[in-house]
Structure 1
């Protein structure tokens, strides 16, 4: 049992959820041992075959309906996998992107035909997801995107470029945010599906050289007159993209905060173990009052964060998680994660700066949390609107 881990909340205590969690832990521990994850880091991406394996094992699209080949689970099953993969340190394996962010766009906003066409492929692992929002000149400001998808006969021609796209090198199912009517601002934004092996003019840039998340193939994507049929317009109605995005962003921001809580708990556990073993001036580093006070403060913040996030998860299950609350969760929890990560690295001394120690890797990986999913500065703007 980890040193710092609150008991599971009541909504995670169902026997079926416990059995699912135990089965998932057994599978991923066996399927993704440390040496395999280390190879992902060395390669700069997860091998495509692993996605197919996970699909065959039944862990992709776990909350998708049985009518489309899914297990018919709910958000709790997604949370189990999110937390498990974070705790196991499955670097680069963006199962939350696939299960929690992209698949729901199809399930909640697609036409019946689109659901039947695409969801079984996402569930089986035949398709791996990405969502192409950010552009070189438009990050958190989605209304400023310049990529267009203009009508051409019985389809659309997509032109533009995207950047910071997770799964960029291996994704073959990409939700592209584009303007079908550039004159209408947010009301001219639509979401279109690009299946990369069925189009011409699509190109992947190089993997971006990041300071963390080395196994995640974050990339630039280029669309040069890419034609997709009108059937690939999500929801079959132009101008709905911005509203579809706004409807699903609260869950994405919550998942970022969930990962932050896991990172906090891991960092505190590592630091407790390290400071109890490390000697200085004739005693363990843990015995110094400063160390105990620092760790006590970290634990207090992590417990508050976990309690708040559990409440947010309950709201997401109930369908009552709103934009304001998810923005608060994303901003405060990721800010707190960074405070804890920095304090824990400091307590490791010089070894905290050495990549062989897990705190160093986690410290680097944690820095992006305050940027993606909408920067924390944008979260403050959203929160301020509700004052």
Structure 2
């Protein structure tokens, strides 16, 4: 996992997002340990160019082809080569490096993450949709390439560390925690009237818009259950979610002998990213240290699936297996986008997801994708179904 020069060669997919910037921050603090091969961003050419020049990346690629000329102009004379568009993104993800951060949000991150996996290096991933959309097919790609998969979602990273190398066969239950989001204490009527600006006020984490909305609906926790199922090869019955507003405990592993281990840290994404970046060693991180005395109390409560039905839908999709998780994820991405555009209400998000799951079942879309290409095709079909469900939602609202 280390190049001949002694430095670990790194590529960051999703460099201008919150996870990408946190990764960049750590790399910049340890120039003696890391060198950047490529940075891939979405549509912010100026920010991507600034990061690439600062860290001395060899290549910078922007997903939006319309921003290609702007990126090239910003990098002119810097020595950093540039590219634009989906093919250039895949080419950058396929470069042989020691370590890749896969942090492109949504199903759009699936193909680049698979490209990185196929190089056989270490892939740290915050793109949970890889496991939600493609599941077994994605894990088969990891096994085939001999890649090392390192989770950087705080919950899964905490589970990995709490597991401590023990066999999953000895685990009685794995539990991920949820902050409860901005609406944890809101009554159902107020939640139904929530606006995008309300849902984007997360009480603990600073994240991108899509994942922040998922945290408000608790769909994020449902997706994380599906992710954990594939990542740790553990049955749905041995997975659980608890609401923990302090966001200090991120994951717990209960063993069959009654012992429970937990992953605790201050709520800062640089902690799990640093674990993956330095793995199997540890690196210094300038994050606030956890002070349990100052924290005072840690509280836990069961999630309310009545007020937050998205979590129930995700659990049902995990139990159903087959294509359900892929449909769920695609429909949720469509619905969240519609909500952010103010075209639907907050509670229409789980309604559209439920309608899309029902409609996909009626159309016979039941089989789990056997390959990455099938997963991408099914994702496209599910998005079309979810978009059609918007009309049904509007008709019901009249």
Structures share fold, TM-score greater than 0.5 = no
Which TM class, normalised by the smaller chain length? under 0.3
> TM-score under structure 2 normalisation?
0.26
More helix by share: 1
